[in-house]
Amino acid sequence: DTYVLIMAGGVGSRFWPKSRNQFPKQFIDILGIGKSLLQLTYERFLKICPNEQIFVLTNESYAGLVADQLSGILKENILLEPSRNNTAPCIAYATYKIAQLNPDANIVVAPSDHLILKEDVFLDKIQVALGFSTANDALLTLGISPTRPDTGYGYIKYQDGFEEVKKVDAFMEKPVLAKAEEYLASGDYVWNAGIFIWSAVSLKKAFEKYAPEIATLFESGLPCYNTDRESEFINTKYPTSPNISIDYAILEKANNVYTIPADIGWSDLGTWASLHAVGEKDMANNMINLNKIHLKDTSNCIIHLPKDKAAVIRGLDNYIVVDDGEVLLIYPKTEEQEIKQVAKDIVSEH
Ligand code: GDD
Ligand code: MG
Rounded CA gap, 142 and 259, in Å? 5
Could you tell me the distance, in angstroms and rounded to a whole number, from the CA of residue 111 to the centre of ligand 2? Answer: 7
pLDDT tens-digit readout, 289-306: 877 899 999 999 999 888
In this prediction the ipTM stands at 0.99
Note the pLDDT of residue 139.
98
Rounded CA gap, 218 and 220, in Å? 5
The ligand 1 atom at the shortest distance from the C-alpha of residue 79 is 1
Give the residue, by CA position, lying nearest to ligand 1 atom 3: 9
pLDDT above 80 for 130: yes
The ligand 1 atom at the shortest distance from the C-alpha of residue 152 is 27
**Residue to substitute in 19, 87, 214, 337 for testing ligand 1 pocket (most ligand atoms within 8 angstroms of CB):** 87
pLDDT above 80 for 244: yes
Q: Average per-residue pLDDT in the chain?
A: 93
pLDDT band of 108, cuts 50, 70, 90? very high
Higher pLDDT, 64 or 20: 64
Rounded CA gap, 211 and 107, in Å? 19
Mean pLDDT over residues 268-296, rounded? Answer: 87
Could you tell me the distance, in angstroms and rounded to a whole number, from the CA of residue 184 to the centre of ligand 2? Answer: 19
HSE of 55, CA atoms in CB hemisphere, 13 A: 21
> Is ligand 1 within 6 A of the CB of residue 241?
no
**Residue to substitute in 7, 42, 190, 246 for testing ligand 1 pocket (most ligand atoms within 8 angstroms of CB):** 7
Mean pLDDT over residues 94-119, rounded? Answer: 96
pLDDT above 90 for 246: yes
Note the pLDDT of residue 19.
62
pLDDT band of 343, cuts 50, 70, 90? confident
Could you tell me the distance, in angstroms and rounded to a whole number, from the CA of residue 321 to the centre of ligand 2? Answer: 21
> Is ligand 1 within 6 A of the CB of residue 58?
yes
Could you tell me the distance, in angstroms and rounded to a whole number, from the CA of residue 94 to the centre of ligand 1? Answer: 15
> Is ligand 1 within 6 A of the CB of residue 112?
yes
pLDDT above 70 for 200: yes
Read off the pTM. 0.88
Which residues have CB less than 5 Å away from ligand 2 (the ion)? 270
**Residue to substitute in 14, 20, 245 for testing ligand 1 pocket (most ligand atoms within 8 angstroms of CB):** 245
pLDDT band of 141, cuts 50, 70, 90? very high
Compute the Cα dihedral for 151, 153, 155, 161 and give only its sign: negative
pLDDT band of 12, cuts 50, 70, 90? low
pLDDT above 70 for 74: yes
> Is ligand 1 within 6 A of the CB of residue 270?
yes
pLDDT above 90 for 92: yes
Give the residue, by CA position, lying nearest to ligand 1 atom 29: 194
pLDDT above 90 for 10: no
> Is ligand 1 within 6 A of the CB of residue 57?
yes
pLDDT tens-digit readout, 314-341: 999 999 999 888 889 999 999 988 888 8
Q: What is each CA distance from 113 to 179, 194, 266, 279, 307, in whole angstroms?
A: 26, 11, 11, 15, 23
Could you tell me the distance, in angstroms and rounded to a whole number, from the CA of residue 179 to the centre of ligand 1? Answer: 21
pLDDT band of 13, cuts 50, 70, 90? low
The ligand 1 atom at the shortest distance from the C-alpha of residue 114 is 33
Q: Considering the chain, what percentage of its residues have pLDDT values greater than 70?
A: 96
The ligand 1 atom at the shortest distance from the C-alpha of residue 86 is 8
Contact 96, 21 (CB under 8 A): no
pLDDT band of 310, cuts 50, 70, 90? very high
Give the residue, by CA position, lying nearest to ligand 1 atom 17: 111
> Is ligand 1 within 6 A of the CB of residue 202?
no
Note the pLDDT of residue 21.
62
> Is ligand 1 within 6 A of the CB of residue 221?
no
pLDDT above 90 for 189: yes
pLDDT above 70 for 345: yes
